[in-house]
Chains A and B, each alone.
Chain A
């Protein structure tokens, strides 16, 4: 079942890459420059790293039947804290640690609203989505804070053969996969998503789990915010991470995780995030006219979602899946 669900996003990604290859034959070209890989594919990985990281946190939140709209604002705050601190002291390490600390606090706040007060996640995180960008603007006094710090630059624009940003995101992905799939944690998260009350009665500490995923999501957003501002060596409180919550949710959904909670797919999220970034790069590479860009993007997204839709997907895969056969036999 999971395999067919991942089939379509994977195919969409491949199709997009092929489209680029047809329009721009040198698209897959990679070369070494200053000791690191360089090319369009590397750009996709680097620019997609923040979305992937945020989508990773979002996957776990969505698996518990929640949603976190504040991720973009948290990313902006992280960038703002780091850059204003670096601008005044020049100490990048403390600045980043401080920013991530702030993000953990913001995550605790979201988790408190959802897990303890029981406010609906979409409303609880909406508070920080709106207020957070204001906080970031206050920190930067509405200005774009430019910093010139070699260490901080590495996070978003640096390379260790591959872009450091994507290495961080992939490391986080692998870590989450190990922690949730090699232990019972993943199953506990899913059970909370399927039925929080029943899992609580069954002895699962659902409140702690919900709280933890919101803190984790905020931490992911914080690191993503560092990448975004480091990439341009500036904190832009107004536009850093703007609408990235939508991209992240889309990545999770394209990856086959249901918004109603329960079973989630980390590989799916990876595919989803890469698809979204490839889509953006495709627009620039094949030169889609700016006026139709949004329609083009929406078109691709609709096609991918249609292919995955429960009513459409079975009709497209000729060989019936084992579960369908079982169901048919049961009838």
Chain B
């Protein structure tokens, strides 16, 4: 008897689930059709976000969502949780839904050609935001809107070269292995510190852009690498994790060990104002408005530059104190 009841319950649940599934995909299909048909003026944009791995990324997401609403663009948003296969799936579904324009921040640099070719064949323009892809076929996307990561790395390296004297032993906390910001921030930094022979990167491991990752890697570095002078973290969150590890080791972050990070999110700026971080290179996540402008132009068939760089600066502790009250993210 109990078995029968449970079986019936299970069947009802399954039916409900199936109904939900159909309803969901049905409405999405309809929305895409209306946008793609060109019958109305609403632009439909499919956006495949990397994830929500850091404060920077969530500010980026928010900016895109708000700008889309303000510009009257219908946004289909997906979160790939830092996995390329999820992002490819999302882009493929946008192609099937016939959105007007696809925008995405590639998780890693390579492996995008097949799915972008599908978008190209379906005549859907693609805009890259924030991160670039490594492909010989530049016709696969219309434009790349985002920061110049090599330049960010250079700014970080330049500060170190100009603001320190004597030998410097640097440990590096990298972003996700293979990610554009990780590769380029490393490259730019190495180019600049090459100007001085006494600056040396003694250890470099990925902390995956997260606080927990940064903390764990820094703990291991503090044990295995003697006399660390400088931490160069590819984002604020890893730098904040490193601060925790340095404090736990009985050292003073910002004094005993200098910390340079990239991003300038609020928590990072607060640490900079307190003097726990020494220098932050800004990486501006608020590119929503620029993205929507570009999307409108691309859909209208206007020519757009293939590379649009966001405006960014750098912060020292003093500048952080001044900038903090007006900081949006």
Give every chain B residue within 8 A of A117 (Cβ-Cβ).
Answer: 6, 9-10
Knowing A144-B58, A239-B212, the reply to whether A232 touches B223 (Cβ < 8 A) is: no
Given contacts A24-B224, A238-B52, A287-B203, contact A144 B237 (CB under 8 A): yes
Tell me which residues from 182 to 220 in chain B have a Cβ below 8 Å from any Cβ of chain A.
203-206, 208, 210-213, 215-217, 219-220
What's the nearest-Cβ distance from chain A to residue B312, in Å?
21
In the assembled complex, how far is the CB of residue B266 from the closest CB belonging to chain A, in whole angstroms?
9
B208 contacts which chain A residues (CB < 8 A)? Answer: 239
Complex CA gap A117/B9 in Å reads: 8
* B244 adjacent to A27 (CB under 8 Å): no
CB distance from A158 to the nearest CB of B (A): 10
In the complex, per-residue mask of A21-59: 1 if CB is within 8 Å of any chain B CB, else 0: 000101100000110001110010001000000000000
CB pair B267 A43 closer than 8 Å? no
Please tell me if A137 contacts chain B, counting CB pairs below 8 Å.
yes
Shortest C-beta distance, A238 to chain B (Å), equals 4
User: Which residues in A have their C-beta under 8 angstroms from that of B215?
Assistant: 231-232
Q: Number of B residues whose C-beta is below 8 Å from A?
A: 39
User: Does B96 lie at the interface of the complex (its beta carbon under 8 Å from any beta carbon of A)?
Assistant: no
- Cα A240 to Cα B204 in complex, Å, equals 23
The answer to whether B211 and A234 touch across the interface, beta carbons within 8 angstroms, is yes
Q: Does A280 contact B (CB under 8 A)?
A: yes
Question: How long is the Cα–Cα vector from A54 to B249 in the complex, in angstroms?
Answer: 27
Q: How far is the CB of A218 from chain B (nearest CB, A)?
A: 21
Contact of B244 among A34, A40, A157 (CB under 8 A): A157
Residues of A within 8 A of B51 (CB): 238
Given A24-B223, A137-B52, A290-B206, A47 and B250 touching (CB < 8 A)? no
A154 to chain B minimum Cβ distance, whole angstroms, is 13
Q: How far is the CB of A178 from chain B (nearest CB, A)?
A: 32
Dominant SS at the A interface? Answer: mixed
Give every chain A residue within 8 A of B232 (Cβ-Cβ): none
Interface centre among B215, B216, B249 (most CB of A within 10 A): B216
One digit per residue, 1 when the CB lies within 8 angstroms of any chain A CB and 0 when it does not, for chain B 38-65 equals: 0000000000000111110010011000
Q: Does A84 contact B (CB under 8 A)?
A: no
B123 at the interface (CB under 8 A from A): no
Q: List 20 A-B contacts (CB under 8 A).
A: A24-B223, A27-B223, A137-B52, A142-B58, A142-B62, A143-B58, A144-B54, A144-B58, A146-B267, A232-B215, A233-B244, A239-B210, A239-B213, A280-B216, A281-B220, A284-B205, A286-B224, A290-B204, A290-B205, A293-B177
A binding-site residues for B, Cβ under 8 Å: 24, 26-27, 33-34, 38-40, 43, 47, 116-119, 133, 137, 142-144, 146, 157, 228, 231-234, 236-240, 242, 280-281, 283-287, 290-291, 293
Given contacts A26-B223, A144-B54, A232-B211, 8 further A-B contacts (CB under 8 A): A27-B223, A27-B224, A39-B223, A40-B220, A117-B10, A137-B52, A232-B215, A239-B213
